[in-house]
Amino acid sequence: MDTQTAIIAFSALTPEQQIRFLATLGHNLTIAGRSHYAFQSPEVANPKGLRAINELQHRLFNHLRALQTPGSFRYPDDLFVASMLDHKDPELRVACTRAFNDALKKTVGA
């Protein structure tokens, strides 16, 4: 799914659906973050990739909190979705797109 289609899909969700979507997306990003661990080791194989996922989770959970707090500042849907999906790193872009699509499927199909 391209960014513009993702923006339209996210914006079409009700606030309650957006909250459910963000919770699912956050969970999916924790799974994506695990791919940066060293195999069967407490070490991190890709610290840069893990940090990128963590920064996305930071934005996501701030947006989730803002949705649940009337009057809180939050980014417009288009900027928020673009921040989740538009990445120079192709591996991060694929992981985020996969996480986004799965969260959308689980939200709309629920």
pLDDT in tens, 72-92: 888 999 999 999 999 999 999
pLDDT, position 41 = 86
pLDDT in tens, 5-19: 999 999 999 999 999
Handedness of CA 38, 62, 103, 23 (dihedral sign): positive
- Structural tokens at position 85: 């999906």
Q: Which residue reads 């194989």 in tokens? A: 45
Question: What total number of domains does the chain contain?
Answer: 1
pLDDT, position 110 = 56
Cα dist from 102 to 9, 21, 99, 109, whole Å: 13, 9, 5, 10
The residue segments making up the domain with residue 42 are 3-108
pLDDT in tens, 29-67: 999 999 999 988 889 999 999 999 999 999 999 999 999
- Structural tokens at position 88: 């120079």
- Structural tokens at position 8: 């339209």
pTM of the model as a whole: 0.92
